[in-house]
Amino acid sequence: MEKQVVDGLREVFQSGRSRPLQYRKQQLRALHRLITEHQADIEQALKQDLNRNTYNTSLFELISIENDIKLAESDMADWAAPQPVKKNLNSALDDVYIKPEPLGVVLIIGTWNYPWAMILQPLVGAIAAGNAAVLKPSELSENSARLMKELLPLYLDKEMYQVVTGGVSETQELLKQRFDHILYTGSSVVGKLVMEAAAHHLTPVTLELGGKSPCYIDKNCDIAVACRRITWGKFANCGQTCIAPDYILCEPNLQDRIVEEIQKTLLEFYQKDPKSSPDYCRIINTRHFDRVLALMNECTIALGGESDRSQCYIAPTVLADVLPYFKIMQEEIFGPLLPIVTVNGLSEAIHFINAREKPLALYVFSSDKTVIKRMLAETTSGGVTVNDVLMHYTVNTLPFGGVGNSGMGRYHGRHTFDQLSHHRACLIKSFAMESLNDARYPPLTAARLRKAKFFMQHRLCSCNGMCVWAAITTILAIGLLVALIVVTAKMLF
């Protein structure tokens, strides 16, 4: 079944259907209509999957998708246009440029925590780049997956874009097929399996994997504002966000103040009972509920800790005096637990971060520019936000992606287009002025090598036509000079 799907998409792609930009724009507009005309259905599916309300669905998924569609539609012609590059004297008269081309058939494997954004945002870039695509939504967000499979063929060209649903076996079967690119969002464990399967066909991959994203709170900052922003980013979607702050690093004398400010913010956001708050989501299923709950076993609960397995509910929870060897510090939490690890200042915080896998996101709160500069200069991460959390994700002109164990490749906006395009090197030469090529033809001599070196090492600016004309003038002058020397020599001798 999966082989037939992929082979069918490849046949239509190779017919050239998606080459015209107008076709791609039509598909993007159709995708936008799907979002706007079925927003209520999407919201209902996410209510069933994650207990997420209408406003959070728009804020965390639909607005970003719409923004990417609008950006791609308006800028696609520029993205797809040949990109001139700098020339040397040897290529001064040639057309030299990079031409973005569609890769072919791409596979997009989404995840369950943001089941629409993690599929449709990459799809926007795949469409803009002119690719066909197979979409594999997570089976854990089953209502969203079912709705996506139902709606997509009603709006998009079903001979170019198809949804495949199912569980592990269907995903494994898909990964046996040859794709031209695979974009996967999920855990590092599964990411390694995806990369292993892709290697069989030498298929390039983009892996968005997550990890433990640290959040350092410096003593020189507005603690109240910092905790308000951290509380929002950590407990949104019940902590099930790949770039949520995973743990807090701070000096010991700040810990109690941080707990106090988070407590105030939780009361403001979710009132006295988060369980009854329409803004507080649920864990996706009981398996993940049990995993998250078990992470608290060694910890001291400073706030929260309540749970209800029948509803997959875990209260927003802050854990104090967490030690580095605790189980909760050995894996990504992906739930509403916020450990606080104390460190003795900035240098120890930097050492703590660098001693672990490179995170997908890094957060630092400080009013001290020296602290910010050191944290940026002495650590690495997929992305970084200073004095806020999550917000770098919302800027679709910034690349979103991991580094090391948190992933590879990047997407969002033009970065998705570039990631899912082949950047073809093009040089178009005429048959004129063949004598200039003598320097590279046998029999080679020292004089010819000097001439070749001169023409190859002198670079021209591709964006200024005067440079090319200057090169032509130089070439002609050299030719005339050589001819004059030859004529003069003949006259004299």
Element (H, E) at 302: strand 300-303
pLDDT of residue 435: 85
* Neighbour-count burial of 353, counting CB atoms closer than 10 A to its CB (0-12 exposed, 13-18 middle, 19+ buried): buried
- Nearest Cα to 407, choosing from 355, 352, 359? 359
Angle between helical axes of 21-37 and 117-128 (0-180°, round to 10) = 160
DSSP string of 149-185? HHHHHHHS-TTTEEE---SHHHHHHHHTS--SEEEEE
Query: What average pLDDT does the segment 242-265 reach?
Result: 98
Residue 375 contacts residue 282 (beta carbons within 8 Å): no
Residue 343 contacts residue 215 (beta carbons within 8 Å): no
What count of Cα atoms within 13 Å lies in the side-chain half-sphere of residue 106? 30
Residue type, 407: G
Query: At 451, is the pLDDT very low, low, confident or very high (cuts 50, 70, 90)?
Result: confident
Spatial distance between the Cα atoms of 432 and 422, rounded to a whole number of angstroms: 30
Both tokens of residue 220? 């020189």
Q: Which of 58-62, 186-190, 432-436 has the lowest mean pLDDT?
A: 432-436
Say whether pLDDT at 488 is over 80: no
Query: At 91, is the pLDDT very low, low, confident or very high (cuts 50, 70, 90)?
Result: confident
Q: Which of 2-16, 19-33, 465-479 has the lowest mean pLDDT?
A: 465-479
Spatial distance between the Cα atoms of 409 and 419, rounded to a whole number of angstroms: 7
Active-site residue flag, 242: yes
Query: What average pLDDT does the segment 113-117 reach?
Result: 97
Residue 6 contacts residue 159 (beta carbons within 8 Å): no
Active-site residue flag, 281: no
Say whether pLDDT at 470 is over 70: no
Say whether pLDDT at 2 is over 50: yes
Both tokens of residue 66? 């719409």
Spatial distance between the Cα atoms of 267 and 143, rounded to a whole number of angstroms: 31
SS3 of the chain: helix, strand, coil, percent, to 5: 50, 15, 30
Return phi, psi of residue 188, to 5°: -65, -35
Residue type, 302: A
Residue from 2, 43, 208, 332 carrying the catalytic annotation = 208
Query: At 483, is the pLDDT very low, low, confident or very high (cuts 50, 70, 90)?
Result: low
Query: What average pLDDT does the segment 32-60 reach?
Result: 96
Query: What average pLDDT does the segment 252-268 reach?
Result: 98
Burial pattern 59-73, b for ≥16 Cβ within 10 A else e, equals ebbbebbbbbbebbb
Average pLDDT, the chain: 93
Query: What average pLDDT does the segment 243-250 reach?
Result: 98
Say whether pLDDT at 479 is over 80: no
Spatial distance between the Cα atoms of 251 and 318, rounded to a whole number of angstroms: 16
Query: At 463, is the pLDDT very low, low, confident or very high (cuts 50, 70, 90)?
Result: low
Residue appearing with tokens 């001169």? 454
pLDDT of residue 391: 97
Say whether pLDDT at 464 is over 50: no
Q: Which of 20-24, 70-74, 75-79, 456-460 has the lowest mean pLDDT?
A: 456-460
Say whether pLDDT at 366 is over 80: yes
* 130-153 pLDDT tens trace: 999 999 999 999 999 999 999 999
Say whether pLDDT at 248 is over 50: yes
Percent of the chain at pLDDT > 70 equals 93
Which regions of 64-110 does DSSP assign to beta strands (E)? 83-84, 87-88, 95-102, 105-109
Residue from 242, 281, 299, 312 carrying the catalytic annotation = 242
pLDDT of residue 465: 47
Both tokens of residue 241? 């966000």
Domains, the chain, ranges and CATH? 1-210+412-424 (3.40.605.10), 214-403 (3.40.309.10)
Spatial distance between the Cα atoms of 10 and 181, rounded to a whole number of angstroms: 13
